[in-house]
Amino acid sequence: MSQLPLDGIRVVEITHMVMGPTCGMILGDLGAEVIKVEPIRGDGTRRLLGAGAGFFRTFNRNKKSIAVDLDDPAGREAVLKLADSADVFIENFKPGRMKSQGLDYDSLRRRNPRLIYASHKGFLSGPYDKRLALDEVVQMMAGLAYMTGPVGRPLRAGSSVNDIMGGMFGAIGVLAALNERNRSGAGKEVQSALYENCVLLAAQHMQQYVVTGEAAAPMPNRISAWCVYDVFEFAGGEQMFVAATGEGQWSTLCKLLGQEALLADPGLATNNDRVLQRPRLLAHLAEVFATLDAKALAVQLEANGIPFAPIRRPEELFDDAHLIESGGLAKLELEDGSYTDMPLLPLSLDGQRLQPRRSIPRIGEDTVSVLKGLGYSEEQIAQLSAAGVLNVDR
């Protein structure tokens, strides 16, 4: 793709963890120049272990890195000059952190009225807005954990769904503000929040209560709208999700399984009839599936338009034929020069996927070039580096 939609847009990002970096990554993938401002030792997310070990490399492609001590007046002045040159400023630190360093929206707007300022918070303005939040916190508060686990065992979703979606909504707000700026010439403050994001995820269950008058049951205990909509075990011990959501799918599935007798049963004539008989019918189908080869049946299900899905672990996706052949995985160079396959944004423009254009940056890899672009001389940069205000990776 010769020119990307956000070519010429400069983004300054002071973020960590997932939510803010996701916003910056999306804008970077769309072509913006994203300059990540890191502490002297680098974003602490780089050093996470366990469940956080993949955060930095996943959400920080297509970015430059400068490393600056924001607690030093000279460091803050460098970042203020950088913000003066920016179209977009992104942050996701606790309430009050940016204001304490003179990097809040009101301060930067006075210097740069065209700036779009995107804050990623736990809560939008209201009684909770001073609270600290995590993805897990809002999943518990907003009903998602209740809906995910069985009764009495609230369970968070298996990914940072609110952080990632919160960053995505931040990016959507930035794109809207950029479009409005084309007409008005003025910037705008954009806020995205974990809690409100999670409430949106729970909205369908809120409305289920309004429509039915009954509280939504957690997903493991829900009354399914379809009879065949479950995970089954096969002869080799494999598990696969199989669904039949329409009359045609139900008929086809019965024929594939050699269960034509079920089609002749008047008590199973409609979907609602089958839902009322679901426990008995699922027990019978489970016995049938347990005698079959999962891979062989999957071929037949696909050929006949029956929804199905093998149960996979995340590491198995590196070998997924669709992702490989469709270009959904791309080689991403890491800060140590090694490479990994990385999922791209789930969209295409004119049939083309948005690729990594830059490796994951080393800490302060671009400090010199960015500051030179702001008018700093080699001597000034060297002095600031010697004073510990900058981390200059050469």
- 390 Cβ partners below 8 Å, 6+ apart? 40, 66, 67, 68, 69, 75, 78, 364, 367, 371, 381, 384
Please identify which residue in the block is written with the tokens 């300059």.
Answer: 35
Q: How far apart are CA 341 and CA 250, in angstroms?
A: 39
145, 155 Cβ separation under 8 angstroms = yes
Strand 88-91 and strand 116-121: the pairing is parallel
Structure tokens at 247: 């009359």
Handedness of CA 310, 313, 319, 322 (dihedral sign): positive
Residue 294 CB-density burial (10 A; 0-12 exposed, 13-18 middle, 19+ buried): buried
Please provide residue 113's backbone torsions phi and psi, each rounded to the nearest 5 degrees: -65, -20
Residue 243 in 3-state DSSP? strand
Structure tokens at 279: 């426990």
**Residue (of 384, 322, 350) closest to 67 by Cα position:** 384
61, 358 Cβ separation under 8 angstroms = yes
- 109 Cβ partners below 8 Å, 6+ apart? 115, 117, 187, 189
DSSP letters along 299-331, please? HHHHHTT--EEE---GGGGGG-HHHHHHT-EEE
Residues taking part in catalysis: 163
